[in-house]
């Protein structure tokens, strides 16, 4: 029904565009000067058709369900039901009217289901009537305006400008959405678990919080020593550290080589090949780490008499490092190439070799940009999920031994939220609290890194 109405309105919009343009031509044929190109007359009418339709549709979508619910539940209003019970009755009513109700059908619910259906059909038909009348009225009004040859280009362009502006708000809305979705759950979480226990506690066993009978009331003392995030934070930074140990030397040296030594032919092929590493999906790296690198390290360690876990931090961190190589190499390549040639020439003129020039002149000059690229790499390592979920352990050990398994913020979020979630459960809320801390840490890193890179760019541009 809605679809038919929608198609009809779209068709109406096209027709009004056509009529507006035609009107412009007739005005033109009377030797009057048009105030804008003929198609603007058409756009003007079409916009006057689209805006009211859009407004009514959204108002309806917001208010119809609430009003129908109020009217249906009106019958039960003075029978002393609680809010929860009323909601349940309403859900049953809706299910019955869709024919999906499986429980016992009482005459009461049957009556309200009938009422629900009739209200819905009244709402539908009144919507059609109202939408069509208002559209026709507004198009008629606009048609009268263009008949008197008043301005059409300015309003149309103003409208387009407003649309463009609204689209540019999408980024802000997304950020607000992220903060919004994280903050409420996080606040609820810290109502049960004290912030101090979360930040300084050293035991993380969220599974313990799940062995709770749902009829039992929330008892905060049960959760003491369950949600201490120190092992998680430590594991996150530890794995990121291992990753950077792999990524920084290889990434930086290949960036330097590509920028300073490589012939244009080597550069032309090597650079895109290295960048392929950044385009491979992380789940593929995770599979590689879990199936190839992990067992390989274990075998290697056993042959050397070391005890290596099959899900070691080393395997996850090492593979993550490979993934980050191209981020560091490309960015540092960029910053090194943008160091002015005059600095190099000056150094060569003093008799320095190429490597001396790089180490003593170019590297210090490019340092801010390189630091920025490394910080971006760290932020990526901290936020990386699939490699850790698949290749590192899921139990949160507090350890600094790279051969043992550890867990990270991202892996814990996935472990907690995979499958069905019960909102309102401290365990689910813990995942959001972890997400909040992840968001804040990476946000700080990104802001600093972007600042540094931007400052550096301005220096040489």
Partner 1 sequence: MNKNKEQLLNKRYKAEQRFRLYGQSAIFMALLFLTIFIFKIFSTGYSAFQKTWLIVPVNFDAELMMLDENPTKQDIEDADYYEIALQSMWNLDPNANEDQQNQLKRMVSYFFEREIKQELLKDPNLLGKTKEVYLTASDDLDQVFKGNYPRDLPEDQRRVSDYQLKIFDQLVANGNVESKFNISFFTNADSREAELAGIASSFMGSIFSILVCLMIAFPVAVLAAIYLEEFAPKNRFTDFIEVNINNLAAVPSIVFGLLGLGVLLAIFQLPRSTPLVGGITLSLMTLPTIIIAARASLKAVPPSIREAALAMGASRMQTTMHHTVPLSMPGTLSGTIIGLAQALGETAPLILIGMVAFVNTIPGSPMDPAASLPVQIYIWAESAERGFVEKVSACIMVLLGFLIIMNLFAQIIRHKFEKKWS
Helix axes 426-460, 170-192, angle to 10 degrees: 140
Q: How far is the CB of 79 from partner 1 (least distance, A)?
A: 28
Q: How far is the CB of 272 from partner 1 (least distance, A)?
A: 9
CB-CB neighbours of 283 under 10 Å: 13
Q: Which of 115, 70, 76 lies closest to 93, judged by CA?
A: 115
Q: How far is the CB of 180 from partner 1 (least distance, A)?
A: 7
Q: Tokens standing for 200?
A: 């300084």
Q: How far is the CB of 261 from partner 1 (least distance, A)?
A: 6
Side-chain-side CA neighbours of residue 283 (13 Å): 0
**Region at 400 (left for phi over 0; alpha for psi -120 to 50; beta for the rest):** alpha
Using the minimum distance from each CB to partner 1, give the nearer residue, 160 or 400.
160
What distance, in Å, lies between the first and last C-alpha atoms of the chain?
A: 59
Q: Tokens standing for 260?
A: 């300073």
Q: How far is the CB of 260 from partner 1 (least distance, A)?
A: 8
Query: If DSSP codes are grouped into helix, strand and coil, which group holds residue 95?
Result: helix
Using the minimum distance from each CB to partner 1, give the nearer residue, 118 or 421.
421
Q: How far is the CB of 183 from partner 1 (least distance, A)?
A: 9
Q: Evaluate whether 41 touches 152 at the Cβ level (below 8 Å).
A: yes
Using the minimum distance from each CB to partner 1, give the nearer residue, 197 or 333.
333
Using the minimum distance from each CB to partner 1, give the nearer residue, 399 or 446.
446
Using the minimum distance from each CB to partner 1, give the nearer residue, 185 or 309.
185
SS (HEC) of 111-150: HHHHHHHHHHHHHHHHHHHHHHHHHHHHHHHHHHHHHCCC
Using the minimum distance from each CB to partner 1, give the nearer residue, 67 or 253.
253
Using the minimum distance from each CB to partner 1, give the nearer residue, 206 or 326.
326
Q: How far is the CB of 127 from partner 1 (least distance, A)?
A: 21
Using the minimum distance from each CB to partner 1, give the nearer residue, 106 or 166.
166
Q: State the Cα torsion 99-101-103-106 to the nearest 10°.
A: -60
Q: Tokens standing for 216?
A: 């039992």
Q: How far is the CB of 237 from partner 1 (least distance, A)?
A: 15
Long-range contacts of 7-11 (CB under 8 A, 24+ apart): 9/49, 9/50, 9/53, 9/131, 9/135
CA distances from 161 to 55, 173, 423 (A): 18, 19, 41
CA distances from 373 to 177, 244, 370, 379 (A): 28, 12, 5, 10
């Amino acid at each position: 029904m809605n679809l038919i109405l929608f198609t009809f309105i779209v068709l109406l919009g096209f027709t009004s565009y056509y009529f507006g343009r035609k009107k412009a031509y007739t005005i033109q044929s009377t030797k009057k000067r048009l105030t804008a190109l003929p198609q603007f007359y058409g756009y003007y009418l079409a916009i006057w058709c689209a805006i009211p339709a859009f407004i009514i549709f959204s108002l309806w979508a917001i208010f119809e369900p609430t009003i129908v619910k109020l009217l249906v539940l009106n019958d039960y209003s003075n029978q002393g039901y609680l809010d929860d019970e009323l909601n349940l009755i309403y859900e049953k009513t809706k299910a019955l009217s869709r024919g999906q109700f499986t429980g016992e059908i009482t005459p009461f619910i049957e009556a309200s289901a009938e009422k629900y259906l009739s209200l819905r059909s009244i709402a539908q038909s009144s919507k059609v009537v109202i939408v069509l009348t208002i559209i026709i009225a507004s198009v008629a009004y606009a048609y009268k305006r263009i008949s008197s040859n008043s301005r059409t280009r300015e309003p149309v362009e103003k409208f387009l400008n407003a649309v463009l502006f609204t689209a540019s708000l999408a980024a802000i809305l997304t950020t607000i959405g992220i903060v919004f979705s994280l903050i409420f759950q996080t606040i609820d979480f810290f109502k049960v678990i004290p912030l101090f226990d979360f930040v300084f506690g050293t035991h993380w066993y969220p599974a313990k919080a799940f062995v709770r009978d749902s009829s039992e009331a929330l008892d905060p003392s049960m959760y003491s020593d369950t949600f201490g995030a120190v092992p998680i934070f430590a594991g996150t930074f530890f794995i990121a550290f291992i990753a950077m140990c792999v990524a920084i030397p290889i990434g930086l040296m290949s960036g330097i080589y590509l920028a300073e030594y490589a012939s244009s032919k080597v550069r032309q092929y090597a650079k895109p090949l290295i960048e392929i590493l950044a385009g491979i999906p992380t789940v593929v790296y995770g599979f590689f780490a879990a199936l190839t690198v992990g067992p390989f390290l274990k075998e290697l360690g056993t042959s050397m008499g070391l005890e290596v876990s099959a899900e070691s931090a080393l395997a996850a961190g090492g593979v993550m490092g490979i993934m980050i190589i191209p981020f560091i190499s490309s960015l540092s390549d960029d910053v090194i190439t943008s160091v002015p040639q005059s600095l190099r020439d000056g150094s060569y003129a003093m008799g320095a070799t190429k490597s001396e020039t790089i180490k003593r002149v170019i590297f210090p000059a490019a340092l801010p940009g390189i630091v920025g690229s490394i910080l971006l790499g760290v932020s990526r390592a901290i936020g990386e999920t699939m490699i850790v979920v698949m290749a590192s352990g899921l139990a949160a050990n507090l350890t600094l031994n790279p051969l043992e398994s550890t867990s990270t913020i991202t892996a814990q979020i996935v472990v907690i939220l995979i499958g069905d979630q019960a909102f309102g459960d401290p365990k689910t809320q813990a995942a959001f609290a972890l997400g909040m801390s992840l968001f804040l840490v990476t946000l700080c890193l990104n802001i600093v890194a972007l600042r540094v890179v931007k400052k550096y760019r301005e220096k040489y541009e």
